[in-house]
Structures are given as structure tokens and as C-alpha cells.
A and B are shown apart, each in its own frame.
Chain A
Amino acid sequence: MKVAVVGKGGSGKTTTAAVIARTLARQGIPTLALDCDTNPNLGLSLGVGEERTERLIAVRDAVDEGDEEHAGSTAELLDRFAIDGPDGVRFAVVSAIDNPEPGCP
């Protein structure tokens, strides 16, 4: 199962995504939670905590910097950049905000 949660700001995307992820994990299904928001807060809703959420290295930033030039597979990236959250949910932040670019909102 692959689910993407979308909607207007403040409508409950992050909360919904976190509950779905942890519910699936509790049923024994291996679950990967990806925060694709440029203002990533999914860690808070999953219960990972603020400090770990902030420190989590953004997968894409590392790739952009050429750090993973030779890293091929998704599995390798997740091994390196995802962390284990409550109920065994694997969790990674896909994009972050350190280098905002002018242009699109």
C-alpha cells in the first residue's frame, strides 16, 4: 500500500498521515513514513520528538550535496537517513527548509 496525504494547510494532513503510519505498523506491516513537506512536522505527530525531527538529515539535501553520488538504491538511502520511530515506523524527511529558493511558493 502506498498512500499520499494532501490537503489545505491546517486541515490535518500531518496528523492523519502519522495515525495511518502507526496504525499500519501496529498491525505488523513494515511502514515507511516520508515527510515531503518543506516545513516538515511529521516527526512531531509520529512521536519522534522535536529534537530528533530537527536533527534528522534530509535525504534530498544530502543527495543534492553529492554526498550520495554512488548510492544507488532507495533501500541504501533509507538505511542511512531514516530513523526508527514509535511502533517501528521507519521515518525520513525528504525535503527541508535550509536553502529556500526564490521562485515558486
Chain B
Amino acid sequence: MPAVPIAAPTIEPGLQPGPDSGLRSAEPSYGGPVRVAFVGKGGAGKSSIAGVFARLLARDGAQVLALDSDPMPGLAYSLGVPNRETGIPAEAVEEYEDDSGRRRHRLRAGLDAGAAIELYSTVSPDGVRLLQLGKTRGVKGENSLSHQGYQAILDALQKQRSAEPDSTGSLADWAVVGDLPGGTRQPFFGWGRFARTILVVVEPTPASLLSGRRLARLAEKASAPHVVAIANKTREEADADLVQARTGLQVIGEVPFDPAQREADRRGVALLDLDSDSPMVAAVTRLVSTLSAKEPVR
């Protein structure tokens, strides 16, 4: 069946691919650490790229927090850590009433977000700290305390992100790499609120392109600050152009189809621990440089 042309979504001017191919953002840059969130269709390669990205960023000297907010977590595999539960435990969270009497949750007294990350994350090779959302529901279907604790970390990161450049705090130096749930249900509200750049991972296949376009549309509705695409599993030169044309998003990185990644998937190991010279690693290395140039590591 011939492809049906569908108008590309309108993207704010700052996101249009321009004559200079460098990243541009509507958001003022203050030289903070890299903070990105990977989104895209299930199976597009979010976790695979995010794991390599986080470890390479750490090799560059950044202090990196990897956040897996997928209830079916997979980032542990691509980081190369045992996939045991590594989230904020219930005992680290307390309930309180706000001024209007609403029940809310926060990290228990004396525990700030930075300390909670140090305490409860799992450290990967190259020193990336991994936190998982894990199980989101308690026995009665309510949000679990663990879930609330994870949200408290996101809140703290968001608060810190919007703070003045010279404000100091235990979170100011953390680079953050988020792996969001697959699909389009609500990638921008909530789970990606720590990010300065949303990276939409898109394969050059009809379903993945369609998801990429839907995400672009949602991003526009949500006024997400800076949304760009990564063309993944490309096999032909035209694939990255196809992703740009069909999603309306600027493609800032291209990751070729890599048999080494498929083998790493099959064995359940990190690509970096299997073949650190593979084409995918080279491509993600370039991606780290691109984003670090825009969002300098300090």
C-alpha cells in the first residue's frame, strides 16, 4: 500500500531544522549538566540507546543518574547491572497533609533527594547510578509509596532545573538520563519533567514513524521545551531524512542497525560490555558530543 502523505505537525520555530545544524532551544541555556529523556514506540530502542548514552556520559566525567520510569524496566540490561529492583523503598517516604488538608507524600524528614539517590540507586560499570520506578501500584490499586518516592526525586530535579544557574544544591551537578515508558500515553506530563531535551527514538518503519509523529504532536500540545528525534536502526542513507520528514522533528543523531546490539539483547548484557567498538557505540558517542556541546557537562 502506498504511503499516505500526512501533513507534518507544526513545530515551534526553534525546533525547525535550520541552516546551522546545531541544537537550538527555546530554553535559555545555563550550562548545566545534560538532562535528557528518551521516548518512542515500544521496541524503538529507547533503553538500548539510553544505557550506552548514560555510560559514555559518565566516562566523560559526568555524575550520571539513570532513571527508568517504565513499569517493565529494561534499562538495567543496557547499563549492565543486575535487573533487581532498585527504587526508593516505602520506608523512605512519608505522608503529610498540605495547607489545604490534602494527603501528599515526600521523602522522610532528613532525607534529601541527593542523599536518597546515593542510598537507593544501583551503580553500573562506569559509575552510572540507576533508579527504577518499579511497581507503581499498591495492593488496593493506589500509587505505591515507592512510586511516590520516585515522584519526589522527579520533583526535586524539576525544581533544581528551573532554579538559577548559581544556586547550589545536592542535585545541581547530576546529569540525568531518563528512559520513559514506550508509546504515547503521557510521555511529557510528569515522567519527563526533569529533562531539558526530549529525545524521540524513531525507527524507519511505518508504525514507529507514526508514533514519532504522534509524540511530536503531543509535545507541541504540552509545550515541551526542546524535542528532537534520533533515527534508530537505520540501514540506508535516506532513513534519517525519512524520520525527519515524517515526524516533523529535527534529527540530531542517527544510530545504524547494529548486529552487535541484537546479540547483546539476546544475551541480556550491555552492548558496551560485549563490543565497545560497534557502530552503535560510535553513533551514541557522537550523540553524547552533540548534546554535551549544547548542555555542557561541568
Residues A91-105 near B (CB distance < 8 A): 97, 100-105
Binds B, one of A6-14, A60-68, A76-84: A6-14
Q: Is B72 an interface residue (CB 8 A)?
A: yes
Chain A CB within 8 A of B34 CB: no
Q: B136 at the A/B interface (Cβ < 8 Å)?
A: yes
- Are B69 and A11 interface neighbours, CB within 8 A? no
CA distance A51 to B214 in the complex (A): 13
Within 8 A of A (CB), among B132-190: 133, 136, 180-190
Q: How far is the CA of A32 from the CA of B226 in the complex (A)?
A: 40
A51: B residues at CB distance < 8 A? 4, 6
A37: nearest residue on chain B (CB-CB)?
Answer: B183
**Overall SS of chain A's interface:** loop
| CB proximity of B291 to chain A, nearest CB, Å | 24
Q: How far is the CA of A51 from the CA of B2 in the complex (A)?
A: 11
| Cβ contacts under 8 Å, B42 to chain A | 8-11, 39
* Residues of B in contact, count (CB < 8 Å): 34
Q: Separation in Å of the A47 CB from the closest CB of chain B?
A: 7
The smallest C-beta distance from B98 to any residue of chain A, in angstroms, reads 17
> Contacts of B189 on A, CB cut-off 8 Å?
100-102
Asked if A30 lies at the interface with its beta carbon under 8 angstroms from chain B, I say no
Q: Is B44 an interface residue (CB 8 A)?
A: yes
Let me know if B210 is at the binding interface, CB within 8 A: yes
Q: Are B136 and A41 in contact (CB under 8 A)?
A: no
Are the CB atoms of A8 and B72 closer together than 8 Å?
yes
Residues A104 and B136 in contact in the complex (CB < 8 Å), given A9-B183, A50-B210: yes
Most chain-A Cβ atoms within 10 A of its Cβ — which of B70, B180, B189, B210?
Answer: B210
Partner of A103, one of B3, B190, B218, B222: B190
A50 touches B185 (CB 8 A): no
Bound-complex Cα distance A37 to B188 (A): 18
A–B complex contacts, Cβ < 8 Å, 5 sampled: A9-B72, A10-B41, A50-B210, A54-B210, A105-B71
Residues of chain A touching chain B, judged by Cβ–Cβ distance below 8 Å, are 8-11, 14, 37-39, 41, 44-45, 47, 49-51, 53-54, 97, 100-105
